[in-house]
Structure 1
Amino acid sequence: MDSADYIEVALRLANAELTDVEAVRAALRDEPWWADRLRDSDLPLLREVSEGLRRALAAMMASDGPAQDETVRTEINALLAAHPPRPRLSGHGGHDGAPNWHVHVAGPDAPAVDEVAAAAAWGLAQGIVAHGTARWGRCEAEGCSTYYLDTSTNQAKRFCSPRCANRMHVAAFRARKRS
């Protein structure tokens, strides 16, 4: 995995409904090597990590200033301290016998929950390093509260997905037609 993948893990975990292990597996569907190994007993730790991610994301969307920066730094550093990445180079899964080089954030025998927690903490930290704090947002669609990273050129993203954007634009169009 690369840093962009870890950013996605952080966002998926922050946005996940952690009601049961199946909900977590659905959120981590793109990482079956973790998702398939998670257990019900992992839920309290994953909820704790998810809450820390959401606190950091909410702080990034608060008004700019030193207090916001300090809150972001405190929340991310607390996650990194509690779930430190232990990077290791891996080279499995390549084609034609050539290794597919990438970095894992936990040792080969680490429980899946430890790797997910470290990946999420590392992903959000790397996302801030790469993109700053101004590009993070929360969907403005009614009934949606999904966090996202805006990597658009004009930094004008307001919705988490085309589906939410279309839904809100259609609702606005219909409201204009009624009046």
Structure 2
Amino acid sequence: MDSADYTEVALRLANAELTDVESVRAALHDEPWWADRLRESDLPLLREVAGGLRRALAAMVAGPGHAQDETVRSEINALLGTHPPRPRLSGHGGHDDVPNWHVHVAGPDAPAVDEVVAAAAWGLAQGVVHHGTRRWGRCQAEGCGTYFLDTSTNQAKRFCSPRCANRVHVAAFRARKRS
């Protein structure tokens, strides 16, 4: 995994409905080596970390300001302090005897939850380092509220997905047609 992937893990965990282990597994669908090993007993820690991620994201979405920046800094540093990444170089998963070099953020024997929370903390920190605090958003579709990273050139993204954007635009079109 690279830092962009870890940023995605942070967003998935922050946006996940952490009601049961299946909802977490669904959110981490692209990381089955973690998701398949998570247990119900991991949920309290995942909820705690997701809360810190959400507080940092909410501060970034709130807009520029010293107080918001301090909240981002303190929330992410608290996560990193409590769930520090322990980077290690790995070279498995390649083809034709050529390793697929990448970095894991926990030791090989660490519980899956330790790697997930370290990856989320590291991912959000790296996302802020690479993109700053102004490119984060929250979906403006009614009833959604999913956090996202806006990597568009014009920084005009308002929705988390084409699905939400289409739903809002179709509803607006229908409302205009009725008028």
Equivalent residues in 2 for 1:88-167, closer than 5 Å: 88-167=88-167
Q: Distance in 2 between matches of 1:28 and 1:80?
A: 20
Report if the CA contact (8 A) 2:105-2:115 is conserved: yes
Give the alignment's TM-score, normalised by structure 2. 0.99
SS in 2 for 1:103: strand
Where does structure 1 differ by over 4 angstroms across 4 or more consecutive aligned residues?
Answer: none
Aligned twin of 2:15: 15
Aligned twin of 1:34: 34
Q: Point out where structure 1 has 5 or more consecutive residues left out of the alignment.
A: none
Alignment length, in residue pairs? 179
Give the Å deviation of 1:63: 3.1
TM-superposition CA deviations, 1:101-147 (whole Å, max 9, x none): 00000000000000000000000000000000000000000110100
Q: Distance in 2 between matches of 1:7 and 1:167?
A: 26
SS in 2 for 1:94: coil
The residue type equivalent to 1:22 in the other structure is: E
TM-superposition CA deviations, 1:9-49 (whole Å, max 9, x none): 00000000000000000000100000000000000000000
Give the alignment's TM-score, normalised by structure 1. 0.99
The residue type equivalent to 2:151 in the other structure is: T
Q: Point out where structure 2 has 5 or more consecutive residues left out of the alignment.
A: none
The residue type equivalent to 2:41 in the other structure is: S
User: Is 1:24 equivalent to 2:24 in the alignment?
Assistant: yes
The residue type equivalent to 1:9 in the other structure is: V
Aligned twin of 1:58: 58
Percent of paired sites with the same residue: 87
SS in 2 for 1:116: helix
State the Cα RMSD in Å.
0.5
SS in 2 for 1:141: coil
Q: Distance in 2 between matches of 1:63 and 1:143?
A: 21
Aligned twin of 1:74: 74
Q: Distance in 2 between matches of 1:6 and 1:64?
A: 24
The residue type equivalent to 1:108 in the other structure is: P
Q: Distance in 2 between matches of 1:4 and 1:73?
A: 19
SS in 1 for 2:103: strand
Give the Å deviation of 1:150: 0.3
Give the Å deviation of 1:62: 1.4
The residue type equivalent to 2:118 in the other structure is: A
SS in 1 for 2:67: helix
Q: Distance in 1 between matches of 2:142 and 2:13?
A: 21
